[in-house]
Every structure is written in C-alpha cells, then in structure tokens.
C-alpha cells in the first residue's frame, strides 16, 4: 500500500511531464490492481501448497525489486509494465499474509484479519505523505527507491525472526473446484460483492479527488498530507468495522456504510469546492474501511463453509479488490474527462447506493458468526 498510495499525489505533475490525459493516469494507477487480478487465484493455491510464510516473504522481495525499477524507467509504457509487475508481487503479500494470520484458533479471526489488513492499509497514511514530500524534495518518483529498499530489508527481517507455521492438512481438491466452492455460501457471495464495490469506490474517489484538487492548485506535499489523513480514516474504518458489526450485525454495518457514502458523495456533487472535496477524501475511506474489514471475514468464513480454505477465500478478496481497483480509476477518469466533476461524483454516489440496496436485500438471510 505504500507503493500504491505514493503514486497518487504525484499524478498531476507526472501527467504534465508525460503529456498524458486523465484516462491514461487512471490506467497507470490501475496497473497495480490489474496485475493483482491476473495472478491472485493461482497465488491462493500456491499459498496452500508451499505455505503462507514463504509466499509472503517472496512477495516482499518481488515488490521491493519492482519499486526500485519504477523509479528509473523513462516512459509511460515502461511505467505501466512495471506497475503490472508490482501488482503480481503484491498479490503474494495480500493473499498469503492474511492467510498466515488466519491460521490457528477461529475465535476472534474477524478482528485479527481486520487489524492485519488495517495495518497493511496504514501504508496509505505513510505512502501518500512520503510520495508527495520526496517528489517535491528529491525527484518525482524518488520515493520508490526508499520503498524498494525498505521492502527488501523487511523481507530479510521477517525471514530472520519468524518460524515456519504449522499448517493444517490440506484438502485434496482440484484447483478450479477449490476456487468455485465458496460460491455455495451466501456469506462468500456477499463478501465478494462488497469488496468489489468498496474497491471501485475507494480507487475512483482517490483518482478523482486528487486530479480535481490538483486542478485547484494543490501541490504534491499538500495532496500527500490530505491523502495521508484519508489513509488514517481508512485504517480507522478497518479497525472499527468489526466492533460496530459485533453490536448491530455485519449486514446492517455494510448497509450503513453504503448509505452514508451515497449521502457524502451526493452532497459533494452539489457543492463541489475544495473544502467539500477534502471532506469526501476523508469520509469515504472511513466507510470503505468498514466494507473491506467485514468483507474479508465473510469471504474467509464463506469459503470454509463451502468446503474450500480460508486462503482461497482471501485470494478471492484480493481478486475482487483488484478488479474493483482497476475499474474504479479507469471509469472515473473517463467520466471526469467526458462529463466533469459533478457527473463523476454522482457515479461514486450511485455505486455506494448499490452496496446499501443489495446488502440490505440479502441481509435477513446473512447470519453473523460470533
């Protein structure tokens, strides 16, 4: 997430240097999740075969190498190619890391998973600020040199201080069957749907508001600061979502998130100014954080209900996130280029409303586990 968010505050300046349009910037931002979407299900199977520790550490080495490459490639085509490779490497971390945490006692797994992904999403806080500050001080993509070194060093530390976990016996089922079994469970289907739309909303909102604020004269450091505050709201949402759901239920919490997101985006579409855009940049990540944390538990638990494994469920979480985070920036930058800010914000509001309506319709049949 450091590498995903470090690119966002430099998009306006990078766009000027490359001479590219809004849509091209949306495609570049979507390159990482697209690479994730292409590889996430095989990585889920690999995690079951070789173990989550090895897969996580290998992914950290890979993401470090691609971060370093991203800082030095000269053209849009090479930037996009390396961004796709970043997505491939990050898949190993986002699938195998939560699968590592999911091992052991199922009691409290929802909170463990939400806290772990919240820690990962904390990269949104640091990444945007570091990306903007280093771009202004040392060079546009200089943050990726630092992030590459940190990722490789982190992989070495993890290898040194952890031991191979005890992995339960693996169910011998065919790969395609393992991927499909979760769809037997309503919990799984609702989790996949919620993750997909949360990613569409989150990635679209980040691209739209960054470009809109850049047009209003905010520089890389200012954008990095506000994106970091939005990242803090995302982490807060990941951590608080399971606690709210423990009181009112998972489905009502998801419905509440979609309803509030619709209201916030609609209000911003009506009163589109710098203050309202910054407010939405903070409010929407909090709500999508609720969706992410709860959807991960729905997918992991639903996959097991259907006869598959938690690692496969988590890989589906990663895949649906990747698809949504690919669709979001491309769609919203197309809408921004074609219809302007108000139309784009209305599209975000409509997507949030779909979450509330669909989850509200299925909620009575969705039983929340303790």
The residue ranges of every structural domain in the chain are 2-162+175-365
> Dihedral of CA 224/335/88/198: which sign?
positive
Who's near 163: CB < 8 A, 6+ residues apart? Answer: none
* pLDDT tens track for 322-352: 788 888 888 998 988 888 899 999 999 999 9
Confidence of residue 369 (pLDDT cuts 50, 70, 90): very low
CA 223 – CA 10 distance, rounded (Å): 8
Q: Assign domain 2-162+175-365 to its CATH superfamily.
A: MFS general substrate transporter like domains (1.20.1250.20)
Q: What is the pLDDT of residues 278-321, one digit of tens each?
A: 999 899 999 998 898 788 888 888 888 888 877 788 888 878 88
Percent of the chain with pLDDT over 70: 95
The string of pLDDT tens digits covering residues 59-108 is 999 999 999 999 998 789 999 999 999 988 988 888 888 888 878 777 77
DSSP 180-192: HHGGG-HHHHHHH
For 162-166, 252-256, 262-266, 271-275, which range has the lowest pLDDT when averaged over its residues?
Answer: 162-166
72 phi and psi, to 5 degrees? Answer: -120, -10
* CA–CA gap between residue 22 and residue 315 (Å, rounded): 31
């Amino acid at each position: 997430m450091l590498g995903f968010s470090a690119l966002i505050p430099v998009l306006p300046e990078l766009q000027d240097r490359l001479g590219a349009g809004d849509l091209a910037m949306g495609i570049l931002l979507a390159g990482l999740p697209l690479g994730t979407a292409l590889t996430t299900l095989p990585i889920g199977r690999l995690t079951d075969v070789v173990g989550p520790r090895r897969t996580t550490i290998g992914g950290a080495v890979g993401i470090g190498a691609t971060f370093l490459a991203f800082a030095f490639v000269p053209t849009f085509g090479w930037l996009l190619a390396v961004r796709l490779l970043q997505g491939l490497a990050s898949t190993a971390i986002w699938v195998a890391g939560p699968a590592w945490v999911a091992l052991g006692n199922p009691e409290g797994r929802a909170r463990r998973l939400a806290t772990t992904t919240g820690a990962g999403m904390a990269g949104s806080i640091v990444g945007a600020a570091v990306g903007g500050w280093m771009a202004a001080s040392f060079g546009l993509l200089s943050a990726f040199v630092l992030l590459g070194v940190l990722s490789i060093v982190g992989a070495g530390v993890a290898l040194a201080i952890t031991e191979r976990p005890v992995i339960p016996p693996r169910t011998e089922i065919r790969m395609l069957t393992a991927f499909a079994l979760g769809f037997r469970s309503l919990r799984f289907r609702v989790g996949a749907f919620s993750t997909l739309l949360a990613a569409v909303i989150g990635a679209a909102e980040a691209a739209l508001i960054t470009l809109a604020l850049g047009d209003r004269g905010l520089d890389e450091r200012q954008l990095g600061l506000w994106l970091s505050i939005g990242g803090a709201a995302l982490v807060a949402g990941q951590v608080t979502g399971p606690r709210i759901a423990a009181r009112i239920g998972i489905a009502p919490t998801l419905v509440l998130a979609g309803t509030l997101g619709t209201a916030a985006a609609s209000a911003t579409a009506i009163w589109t100014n710098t203050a309202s855009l910054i407010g939405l940049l903070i409010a929407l990540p909090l709500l999508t954080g609720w969706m992410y944390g709860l959807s991960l538990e729905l997918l992991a638990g639903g996959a097991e209900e259907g006869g598959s494994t938690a690692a496969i469920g988590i890989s589906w979480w990663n895949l649906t996130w990747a698809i949504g985070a690919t669709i979001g920036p491309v769609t919203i930058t197309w809408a921004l280029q074609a219809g302007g800010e108000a139309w784009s914000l209305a599209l975000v509001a409509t997507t949030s409303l779909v979450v509330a309506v669909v989850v509200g319709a299925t909620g009575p049949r969705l039983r929340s586990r303790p």
